[in-house]
Structure 1
Amino acid sequence: MKAILADAVNWYVRLHDSDVDEATRVQWQAWYAADNRHAEAWARLEQLQYRLGNAPRGAAQTLQAARWDRRSAVKALALLLGVGAVGWQGYRVSPWRADYWTRVGERRQLTLADGTRLDLNTDSRVDVVFDAGQRLIQLRQGEILVDTAQDPRPLSVCTAEGDILALGARFSVRQDSGVSHVTVATQAVEVQAKRMSQRLRIDTGYSLSFTADSFGPLRPMDPDAQAWVQGMLVSVDWRLGDVVQALARYRPGYLGCSKEVAGLRLSGAFNLDDTNVALASLEDALPIRVRRMTDYWVRLEPSGQG
């Protein structure tokens, strides 16, 4: 994987060179599509770039200073990815950024040029490409809800695993490691996995998970699956471990629970804008205690544990 990560860094630098041409972009697209590991490496690189862009001030100043020496900056990027020293070529680097993005715990709603409404969940990034023949939303990370506006041009959401063509739909898409999840609230979408010729239609009220080369089963959608748009997490007879995993997406640092309490079951509604209040509610409702080492390291344990 180190060699693939090294290739990803080289491509990243080439694409951000001021002299980049269309032929280079086409070559990169061919490399990206040739192997699912390439897409995974690219996603890892983009996630690193996003997190560096939100680094504390001291770290950000160090990184900014490094950018004055492009060879040092690229080498540092490789080392942060765990690639190690390789034979880098000297390309000029520009900081990476997405068209629209959210920090951990942040949500954002916006209206695109065609009238489509786009909601971004926590820690999400998208690029948007509209031209005369298409409307393309590229989900780089996280989760979005799309409320499609009427327009003669097709609208698609692209993930690392494939494309979702909107058929006048209101639908959500979540990008996880190696798998995409689609939930359709109204109308329908068609899903095309990267390495499959078959298209699969998802109608109102159903959800699907898929990889680059396989479709999961169609399932009835969770009626509260899109409650995050209103800033709520709704659980109905969930395991505590699953509730904690969902809340962890909305706060920086580590949030987990011990195996002794992970299987406890509960139902409830939690405000995603204040996960500390949600944790206090869990502590009141269940035989657990919230153990805090710092604000960025929190663990749920049995209430009697010392």
Structure 2
Amino acid sequence: MDIKTLEAAATWYVQLNDGDSNAARTHAWRQWLQASPQHAAAWARVEKLQQQWAMVPPQAALSSLGAAQAQRRDVLKVLGLLLAMGGGGWLAAEQVPYRALMAQQRTGTGERRAVQLEDGSQLEMNVDTALDVRFDAKVRTIQLYQGEILVRPLGDLQQRPLIVHTDDGSVLARSTEFSVRKLVQQTRVGVLQASVEVRPQRYPDRVLQLQAGQQASFDPQDFTVAHALPADSTAWLQGMLSVNDWRLGDFIEELGRYRPGVLRCAPSIQAMSISGAFRIDDTDIALANLPKTLPVNVRYLSRYWVSVEPA
């Protein structure tokens, strides 16, 4: 079960217990619940929350679920920890979903943040990103569990390289500018300045040298051939999602990263083509503009359940 499904279940739990539930929201939740066996499995974990609440570490617990709207990120963190629990207890510390929930640096849905590292290097975090930073006498390390970052490392007086690790492998750089995005089954790297070295996790002796203006993906065993980095690959830094002849289904999936809850696209219209620049800080505006250029309707069952359907 993927972490996005668990987080969607946690979001529904918060919304249904915020004291402002209504028939439309309940109906939307039931539709989500019945849409997939994975949704039902995630909700089964939610139903154990009351029994498992006592197992939440005291420093993580909130006084009540009534704080949900004011402290949504904290609530989702607690719920995420509970949802990550299986029948045998806490997930092992080495499992990525657990580590992501406990990471030093996290951004939530719709949140982007700039971080200055202890050596002065700059780190830009896109939405739904989790990572740890560790510096020692020999190396500067960023462990990226999920999400997307842009790194601007400074030259280091101790000549320490900066390495970004994911569960697919590593990206080594010194003084350069590059982006790393953790996808479901691979990691994507784009180089804006200078060069980086990419190594798959299982074959660290294999090295792909990426130059400025190049992009490639890698998984634990191999990497793809380098190709041109799209000019709009870092548009998210300016709060934009820029697409050129994308499948509508891919666009809706990408837009869904920037809003809470569930955003789906009907299978019959997923192959439609879409181009344009869209604000990711207000995805409702992006959705409202879709029917103006495509034969589609956008249906809101609730703020957290939106469906793009044929007109």
TM bracket, shorter-chain basis: 0.7 to 0.9
- Change beyond 3 A, Cα 1:202–1:257: same
Find the counterpart in structure 2 of residue 84 from structure 1.
87
- Partners of 1:98 and 1:79 lie apart in 2 by 16
Kept in 2: contact 1:173–1:182 (CA 8 A): yes
What secondary structure does 2:175 align onto?
strand
Percentage of matched positions with identical amino acids: 40
C-alpha displacement at 1:218, in angstroms?
1.1
What secondary structure does 1:110 align onto?
strand
- TM-score, normalised to structure 2, is 0.71
Find the counterpart in structure 2 of residue 203 from structure 1.
211
Find the counterpart in structure 1 of residue 179 from structure 2.
172
- Partners of 1:131 and 1:46 lie apart in 2 by 33
C-alpha displacement at 1:118, in angstroms?
0.4
Please state if 1:239 is matched with 2:247: yes
What secondary structure does 1:247 align onto?
helix
Kept in 2: contact 1:185–1:205 (CA 8 A): yes
Alignment of 1:14-163 (within 5 A): 56=14, 65-67=54-56, 80-81=83-84, 83-85=86-88, 97-151=102-156, 152-163=159-170
For residues 175-210 of structure 1, the C-alpha deviation after alignment (integer angstroms, 9 at most, x for no partner) is: 122211101111110011111121110101111111
Please state if 1:260 is matched with 2:268: yes
Kept in 1: contact 2:140–2:160 (CA 8 A): yes
Kept in 2: contact 1:134–1:153 (CA 8 A): yes
Kept in 1: contact 2:154–2:174 (CA 8 A): no
C-alpha displacement at 1:260, in angstroms?
2.2
- Partners of 1:45 and 1:286 lie apart in 2 by 32
For residues 228-278 of structure 1, the C-alpha deviation after alignment (integer angstroms, 9 at most, x for no partner) is: 011100011212112111101111111111122212212110000000000
Find the counterpart in structure 1 of residue 190 from structure 2.
183
Structure 1: which amino acid aligns with 2:192?
A: A
- Partners of 1:249 and 1:175 lie apart in 2 by 13
Structure 1: which amino acid aligns with 2:152?
A: D
Please state if 1:288 is matched with 2:301: no
Kept in 2: contact 1:191–1:199 (CA 8 A): yes
Find the counterpart in structure 2 of residue 19 from structure 1.
none
For residues 38-91 of structure 1, the C-alpha deviation after alignment (integer angstroms, 9 at most, x for no partner) is: xxx9xx689979x979x848889976532379xxxxxx9999458435899xxx
What secondary structure does 2:221 align onto?
coil
- TM-score, normalised to structure 1, is 0.72
Kept in 1: contact 2:132–2:142 (CA 8 A): yes
Q: How many residues align?
A: 250
- Partners of 1:47 and 1:287 lie apart in 2 by 29
For residues 10-56 of structure 1, the C-alpha deviation after alignment (integer angstroms, 9 at most, x for no partner) is: xxxxxxxxxxxxxxxxxxxxxxxxxxxxxxx9xx689979x979x84
- Partners of 1:193 and 1:288 lie apart in 2 by 42
- Change beyond 3 A, Cα 1:163–1:67: same
Structure 1: which amino acid aligns with 2:260?
A: P
Structure 1: which amino acid aligns with 2:167?
A: A
Kept in 1: contact 2:246–2:273 (CA 8 A): yes
- Partners of 1:150 and 1:183 lie apart in 2 by 19
- Partners of 2:271 and 2:287 lie apart in 1 by 16
For residues 200-229 of structure 1, the C-alpha deviation after alignment (integer angstroms, 9 at most, x for no partner) is: 101011111111001112111111011101
Kept in 2: contact 1:78–1:85 (CA 8 A): no
Find the counterpart in structure 2 of residue 277 from structure 1.
285
Unaligned segments of structure 1, at least 5 residues: 1-40, 70-75, 89-94
- Partners of 1:77 and 1:118 lie apart in 2 by 25
- Change beyond 3 A, Cα 1:64–1:270: same
Unaligned segments of structure 2, at least 5 residues: 19-45, 59-78, 92-99
RMSD: 3.5
Moved over 2 A (4+): 44-49, 55-69, 76-88
- Partners of 2:258 and 2:4 lie apart in 1 by 20
C-alpha displacement at 1:117, in angstroms?
0.7
